[in-house]
Chain A
């Protein structure tokens, strides 16, 4: 609370308006402005989007390669995959001549398949 006697403003000058009012207003508003002007509140640096996307791309590529690699390996090692035509068995085999070609039969040995 103010106990100071008023008014300090010169009535004559107020009556003149203009310059005095401009002067007082300018002084008043400038006195209100922070001096020195503060720096902006420090914001944390933005994450670099390019680096992030590069990192994500690398991660996705690595996972992809890992998956492809594991699937390929699993396929290569799977048992029962025929490399050669399947030989017929049973009655079907009897109908066909499954003897080895002569050149493959070792000399002095019986034929591979009996008739």
Chain B
């Protein structure tokens, strides 16, 4: 048999498969914690690196999805102690998503402002609500998929999603955005 230039490594294939299936969920949970896409991606990558290292030790992971999400949550919490927090600053994404000197067409500016308001309101929501909203709207997850990812009851997902949307609408109104009942 002719040897392939890069021999197939089943463990590498498994790793990439897990990354393909769960990296967005991992990102979504980290994003829901920090509301920062880059930080969330760093956390997601670190989570998968840790998975790889865990495999290297030879320890089996019974439920990789649960393991990944748990590690991502822990890393997101640990991130609070990192330089990002110590510096006491926020990256551009959390600064209302406004890059003031960039010339932007009117529509793009309006969209950016809408997002900035939305971000402010989202940041005030409980983390659990943000997790559900991120999974629902970033990943387009259905209720049962969210329930699986968060290991909660689908009914609870439904209630929390509805409540989160309601809070969001209320807070947008409270900001003077929505005066009409």
Interface residues of A (CB under 8 A from B): 1-4, 6-9, 11-12, 14-17, 21-22, 24-34, 37-41, 43, 45-46, 49
Contacts and interface: CB of A to CB of B under 8 A. Distances in A.
Interface string B142-181: 0000000000000000000000010011001101111111
Given A9-B172, A11-B178, A43 B49 contact: yes
A24 B118 contact: yes
Interface string B88-124: 0000010110101000000001110111111100000
Contact of A40 (B23, B109, B173, B181): B23
Given A15-B181, A30-B138, 7 more contacts: A4-B98, A8-B114, A14-B173, A30-B137, A32-B31, A45-B12, A46-B11
B24 interface: yes
Contacts of B9: 45-46
B28 to A, nearest CB: 8
A34 B37 contact: yes
Contact of B117 (A7, A17, A26): A7
Contact of A46 (B41, B55, B176): B55
Given A4-B98, A25-B137, A40-B19, A14 B172 contact: yes
Contact of A11 (B52, B95, B137, B177): B177
A31 B115 contact: yes
A32 B46 CA distance: 19
A41 B26 CA distance: 14
A26 B133 CA distance: 9
Nearest to A7: B177
B23 A37 contact: yes
B100 A3 contact: yes
A31 B172 CA distance: 20
Nearest to B138: A29
A34 B113 contact: no
B137 A2 contact: no
Given A2-B100, A15-B178, A28-B137, A33 B27 contact: yes
Contact of A28 (B23, B49, B118, B180): B118
Contacts of A21: 165, 168-169
B77 interface: no
5 closest A-B pairs by beta carbon, nearest first, are A15-B180, A14-B178, A29-B138, A29-B137, A43-B52
A40 B138 contact: no
A28 B48 contact: no
A6 B176 CA distance: 10
A40 B45 contact: yes
Contacts of A38: 41, 45
Given A14-B178, A21-B165, A43-B15, A28 B37 contact: no
